[in-house]
């Protein structure tokens, strides 16, 4: 599997894992801030960007194995791991299946999955069923009235790394099948859980489900933040993550 990755900064290693439909450019507003303190490694998940897009469906376990491959290619035995949305599911699986590779864990706007977690909010479910435009999906991933500049910037990137429908569906299948609710208590890495309170893509109540089960997990909420709250509040995001990892 060809997984394309890049590296920025210096310090303790930090692996970034993005979510459904987003290539590594998705860390743009926080990358420089994180690279001031960490050796940041970011990559394109299988199915998007410059990485291979084999036929699906994919599984979260396969995506976690891809993340381990990136660590190996970067020569990193251990790293802090930060995952958002689907990438947060991958980060959970990585911490469970390869605990020796994960130092500290940051889970952003994600869910443990499975029938007992809180489902996708109705607003997003309706968008997926209605054949919404890419702009509508971008706007839905942000808080209300985020500003046209953010919308246009994300839209530009998403159009430039246009993902074939079959690859998007293969990634989505991984998230839909993921169920770690009964396993996350086995996460040994110190864990920080972040979520925007105005997230309409992943129900923010899943934060409590994770926090109740992961030993000694810490929670930080971003009031008014959408699903991509780190695009809206990048300075606070970098500050909170840096403080925790330090």
pLDDT in the model for residue 145: 86
Q: What is the pLDDT of residues 83-112, one digit of tens each?
A: 999 999 999 999 999 999 999 999 999 999
| Distance between CA atoms of residues 172 and 120, nearest Å | 12
Return the CATH number at 100: 3.40.50.1820
By percentage, how much of the chain surpasses pLDDT 70? 100
Reply yes or no on whether the pLDDT at 169 is more than 90.
Answer: yes
Reply yes or no on whether the pLDDT at 147 is more than 90.
Answer: no
Q: Which of 19, 28, 20 is nearest to 6 (CA)?
A: 28
Q: What is the mean pLDDT of residues 39-67?
A: 97
Q: Which of 111, 107, 50 is nearest to 82 (CA)?
A: 107
pLDDT in the model for residue 162: 86
- In terms of residue numbers, what domain contains 228? 5-245
Reply yes or no on whether the pLDDT at 47 is more than 90.
Answer: yes
Token digits of residue 152: 């246009």
Task: State the total domains in the chain.
Answer: 1
Global pTM exceeds 0.85: yes
Range scoring the smallest mean pLDDT among 141-145, 180-184, 208-212: 141-145
Strand arrangement, sheet containing 38-43? 5-8, 38-43, 12-17, 79-84, 102-108, 191-196, 218-222
Q: What are the helix (H) ranges across the chain?
A: 28-35, 60-73, 86-97, 122-130, 134-140, 148-160, 165-177, 206-213, 229-232, 234-245
Asked if residues 12 and 38 have their Cβ atoms less than 8 Å apart, the reply is yes
Reply yes or no on whether the pLDDT at 129 is more than 90.
Answer: no
What is the chain's mean pLDDT, rounded? 96
Element (H, E) at 22: none
Neighbours of 98 (CB within 10 A): 16
| Distance between CA atoms of residues 184 and 191, nearest Å | 11
Q: Specify the higher pLDDT residue, 127 or 6.
A: 6
pLDDT class for 7, splitting at 50, 70, 90?
very high
Parallel/antiparallel/unpaired status of strands 191-196 and 218-222:
parallel
């Amino acid at each position: 599997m060809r997984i394309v990755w890049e590296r920025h900064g210096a310090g303790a290693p930090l692996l970034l894992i993005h979510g459904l439909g987003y290539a590594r450019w998705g860390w743009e507003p926080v990358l420089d801030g994180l690279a001031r303190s960490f050796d940041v490694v970011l990559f394109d998940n299988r199915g998007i960007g410059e990485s291979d897009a084999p036929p699906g469906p994919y599984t979260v376990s396969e995506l976690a194995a891809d993340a381990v491959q990136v660590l190996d290619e970067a020569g990193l035995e251990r790293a802090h791991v930060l995952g958002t949305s689907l990438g947060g599911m991958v980060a959970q699986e990585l911490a469970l299946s390869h605990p020796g590779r994960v130092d500290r864990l940051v889970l952003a706007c994600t869910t443990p999955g499975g029938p007992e977690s809180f489902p996708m909010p109705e607003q997003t479910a309706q968008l997926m069923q209605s054949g919404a435009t890419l702009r509508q999906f971008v706007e839905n991933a942000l808080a209300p009235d985020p500003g046209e500049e953010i919308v246009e910037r994300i839209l530009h990137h998403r159009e430039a790394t246009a993902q074939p429908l079959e690859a998007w569906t293969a990634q989505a299948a991984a998230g839909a099948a993921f169920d770690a609710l009964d396993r996350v208590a086995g996460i040994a890495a110190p864990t920080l859980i972040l979520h925007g309170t105005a997230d309409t893509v992943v129900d923010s109540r899943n934060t409590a489900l994770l926090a109740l089960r992961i030993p000694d997990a810490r929670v930080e909420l971003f009031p008014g933040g959408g699903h991509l709250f780190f695009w809206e509040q990048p300075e606070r995001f970098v500050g909170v993550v840096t403080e925790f990892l330090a």
